[in-house]
Structure 1
Amino acid sequence: MKKVVMWALGALLVAACAGTKVEVTESGLLKSNFQTEVNGKKTDLYVLRNKNNMEVCVTNFGGRIVSVMVPDKDGNMRDVVLGFDSIQDYISQPSDFGASIGRYANRINQGRFTLDGVEYQLPHNNYGHCLHGGPKGFQYQVYDALQTSPQKLELTYLAKDGEEGFPGNITCRVFMELTDDNAIDIRYEAETDRPTVVNMTNHSYFNLDGDAASNADHLLTVDADYYTPVDSTFMTTGEIAPVEGTPMDFRTPTPVGLRISDYDFVQLKNGQGYDHNWVLNAKGDISRKAATLQSPKTGITLDVYTDEPGIQVYSGNFLDGTQTGKKGITYNQRASVCLETQHYPDSPNKPDWPSVVLRPGEKYNSHCIFKFSR
């Protein structure tokens, strides 16, 4: 916390000496670093605050959550998500940090699926598959943004027919609200003019220690008796397997790092750690807790609720120290945990799994709540 305050004060001093007016967020972000144009559309930083002084900063570039300031057990405010200090950093260091992912979160096998007898080919950007909507997915697009109150933000993006190979003009909306019980309430909506597939999520990288160090001591709980195994290319095999007796069992609070390197268990070898979808027991019940992440160090707890059937737990296995984030912090391997609420990966090619098809006249809805406490 002291480091953040000093950084922010330094930025204000430089600005004062230059005779300019600068807005600095509680997390130390300069709004001016987010005010530019990408692909001819203006970007900005939107700040949400509640009555408890919790702060969430969002940029419309990719619909990204840039920072989340929450109090720890001692009342100190900590930034608990990974991200960058400017739009330029998000462009020069490609990542999914904090993004509102679409049109299809996670992987589609070989970037190919058939809908109503028509085969569609998507770009390959991950081990021969299409990941997170392709290399020009929503995380690299500029949403139209409207902040309707100090605690609410609406983001809208029109993905055109054929964009990244997907059929249909689809209007997608993301509604973010910072509630007074310290929750980020996220609702997704979409409508299309042609049959298509849609699966949206938020890809925040959480580190509840607030220092982007190792996630090994974070306690993870996932309310799921089953998960979907993957092959060596991270593609779901179609199997739904029990977690019982495996390192995939997080039905009770367990340190993320306790079994993560047990590569004798082929799923951890295939995923290079945890990068898997769990089949949630809640079965769409938004009132039932889907997952919990806790930091013994700071006392911060994150509870996840969703009406989606699955959640992808990704333990930051591909972070490798080459990316420098906010405040000059280096993001090393496993510096975070992602909790991506979703339909299962490759559902368009697995008809027995919950459908991701959206047709004209229908509305896609998805709901996720990230609730913080201490």
Structure 2
Amino acid sequence: MEKNQISHFVDTLDAKTFGILTDGKAVLCHTISNMRGMEASVITYGATITSLQIPAQGGKVDVVLGFDSLQSYIDSYSLPSAPYFGAIIGRYSGRIKKGKFTIDGEKYQAASNHGEHTLHGGFEGFGQKVWQVENVSANAITLSYTSADGEEGFPGEITLHVTYTISEDNKLVMQYWATSTKDTVLNLTQHSYFNLAGHSQTIEKQKLFINSHKILETKPNGIPTGLILKVDNCPFDLTTPKYCPTKIDTTFIIDDNTVPVASLTSEETGLKMTVRTNQPSVHVYVGGNCFGKIKGKEDTQYNTLSGICFEAQHYPDAPNHPHFPSTLLKKGEEYHQKTSFKFEQL
């Protein structure tokens, strides 16, 4: 190992204190990077990505939304519509109708935190938990969280590990592993909002591509009807790149996981982001949950066009639709998800 690589390794291991919780626990921040200058900062609160710096024309660009302080992350969950900036979502990303589901004939009631429905795991999901750092190196960090049996109404004690890795070809790779002490349902995702022109810009002039010909039909409250619709000749047909819609909150079905499922391109910075996943869908969200009320990093006033989410996951409300891909995690089996975001200069 060369001297500059040794220095790079040691510097990355140094954790910084991001803030202190009311119970006295310190929330730590680790920064991982590659030798090309791409770097990500991750805090132990929610295993949250607070910054993602990408080398681009004219210098590095921070391509994710976030906050400068721990208190701002905490306060954001009390907003009328929490943004979940950069957090790991669980136990169940997306909605579960009325919070109800059945496993092997036994009925369960999850916390109904979104009207009468469950959204993103309940009142206090994985994004509001303090995670433990299991391992950290120059370009990777693994964090873990144990979710108690019955937490937010979900059965089984879940042991969860998440690894973020930055590769030398400027790819952010996220892998999740989980086991449960009881049969349960599990649907995880990462909730970063991306903007390839920088988090202080808007996304409506960036080009969006989604390699999907089908979407889930949903009711106005976001609950799937169970029907699957073709996108041909409709505004949701993004199989050729188009400018980002100013409002979208839609689950796109992925038929082929061997090819990229989506991409985002900015002419301003010359950056392209390509999304790959082993999940059966990607939920695309523009709207920001900001409403002009959230002040983000570097004193930036976020708005509804500040960023776009690519939530690689299973379908919302899958436990109540037997023809959807199953989100059942049986006792003794292992959940595994892999999703990546690759950045390149055009």
Query: Do they superpose with TM above 0.5?
Result: yes
Percent of aligned pairs with the same residue? 38
Give the Å deviation of 1:198.
0.5
Matched, 1:66 2:42: no
* 1:62-119 Cα distance to aligned partner (Å, 9 max, x none): 01110000022x2410100000011111112223000011111111111111111111
Query: 1:326 is matched with which residue?
Result: 297
Matched, 1:138 2:122: no
What TM-score comes out, normalization by structure 2 length?
0.91
Query: 2:68 is matched with which residue?
Result: 85
Query: 2:188 is matched with which residue?
Result: 200
* 1:300-354 Cα distance to aligned partner (Å, 9 max, x none): 1110000000000000253211010100101111211000100011101111111
Query: 2:204 is matched with which residue?
Result: 216
Give the Å deviation of 1:172.
0.8
How many angstroms apart in 2 are the aligned matches of 1:219 and 1:208? Answer: 10
Output the aligned Cα RMSD. 1.7
Counterpart secondary structure, 1:348:
helix
How many angstroms apart in 2 are the aligned matches of 1:245 and 1:128? Answer: 34
Residues 127 and 233 in structure 1, CA contact (< 8 A), matched pair in contact too: no
Query: 1:98 is matched with which residue?
Result: 86
Q: 1:291 to 1:39 in 2, by over 3 A?
A: farther
Q: Which of 315, 337, 342 does residue 344 from structure 1 map onto? A: 315
1:28-43 aligned at under 5 Å gives the runs 31-32=16-17, 34-37=18-21, 39=23, 41-43=25-27
Matched, 1:125 2:130: no
Q: How many aligned residue pairs are there?
A: 328
How many angstroms apart in 2 are the aligned matches of 1:204 and 1:354? Answer: 24
Unaligned runs of 5+ in 2: 1-10, 78-82
Q: Which of 157, 160, 182 does residue 172 from structure 1 map onto? A: 160
Counterpart secondary structure, 1:224:
coil
Residues 281 and 314 in structure 2, CA contact (< 8 A), matched pair in contact too: yes
Q: Which of 262, 275, 293 does residue 249 from structure 2 map onto? A: 275
Q: Which of 324, 335, 338 does residue 364 from structure 1 map onto? A: 335
How many angstroms apart in 2 are the aligned matches of 1:340 and 1:367? Answer: 12
How many angstroms apart in 1 are the aligned matches of 2:136 and 2:195? Answer: 29
How many angstroms apart in 1 are the aligned matches of 2:214 and 2:297? Answer: 36
Query: 1:9 is matched with which residue?
Result: none
Matched, 1:51 2:51: no
Q: 1:244 to 1:169 in 2, by over 3 A?
A: same
Residues 221 and 293 in structure 1, CA contact (< 8 A), matched pair in contact too: yes
Residues 57 and 65 in structure 1, CA contact (< 8 A), matched pair in contact too: yes
Matched, 1:76 2:50: no
Q: 1:205 to 1:161 in 2, by over 3 A?
A: same
Counterpart secondary structure, 1:237:
strand
Moved more, 91-100 or 183-192: 91-100
Give the Å deviation of 1:211.
3.8
Give the Å deviation of 1:55.
1.0
How many angstroms apart in 1 are the aligned matches of 2:203 and 2:123? Answer: 27
Give the Å deviation of 1:37.
3.6
Q: Which of 154, 162, 167 does residue 142 from structure 2 map onto? A: 154
* 1:12-37 Cα distance to aligned partner (Å, 9 max, x none): xxxxxxxxxxxxx99xxx944x1424
Letter in 2 for 1:135: F
How many angstroms apart in 2 are the aligned matches of 1:213 and 1:229? Answer: 31
Counterpart secondary structure, 2:315:
coil
Residues 62 and 142 in structure 1, CA contact (< 8 A), matched pair in contact too: yes
Letter in 2 for 1:43: V
Q: Which of 229, 232, 240 does residue 244 from structure 1 map onto? A: 232
Counterpart secondary structure, 1:238:
strand
Letter in 1 for 2:60: M
How many angstroms apart in 2 are the aligned matches of 1:218 and 1:89? Answer: 28
How many angstroms apart in 2 are the aligned matches of 1:40 and 1:359? Answer: 36
Name the structure where strand makes up a greater proportion of residues.
Answer: 2
Letter in 1 for 2:209: T
What TM-score comes out, normalization by structure 1 length?
0.85
Letter in 2 for 1:151: N
Counterpart secondary structure, 2:203:
coil
How many angstroms apart in 1 are the aligned matches of 2:344 and 2:297? Answer: 23
Unaligned runs of 5+ in 1: 1-24, 261-272
How many angstroms apart in 2 are the aligned matches of 1:37 and 1:146? Answer: 20
